[in-house]
């Protein structure tokens, strides 16, 4: 078990949320942020609102 895995068991890890309209920009952000924190990349604020308001288990 790596130190990072052990830390994950101790407390919740942060989630980074990014909004980028362009698929190329979302890909660039995903590549730059890989391994730093879990990342949620969405194309616009409407999509983020939809995801945040979705009921658990409703498939989105």
Closest residue by Cα to residue 48 from 12, 25, 21: 21
pTM of the model: 0.64
| Per-residue pLDDT at 59 | 67
Closest residue by Cα to residue 13 from 32, 36, 41: 36
Residue whose structure tokens are 């052990």? 6
Residue 56 in this model has a pLDDT that exceeds 60: yes
- DSSP 8-state code for residue 13: P
pLDDT in tens, 15-41: 999 999 999 999 999 999 998 889 999
- Residue 6 included in any domain: no
More confident residue, 4 or 32: 32
How many domains are there within the chain? 1
Q: Which range of residues forms the domain containing residue 33?
A: 13-53
């Amino acid at each position: 078990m790596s130190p990072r895995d052990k830390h994950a068991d101790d407390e919740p890890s942060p989630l980074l949320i990014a909004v980028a309209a362009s698929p190329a920009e979302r890909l660039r952000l995903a590549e730059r942020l890989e391994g730093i924190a879990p990342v949620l990349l969405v194309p616009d604020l409407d999509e983020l609102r939809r995801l945040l308001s979705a009921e658990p288990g409703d498939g989105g």
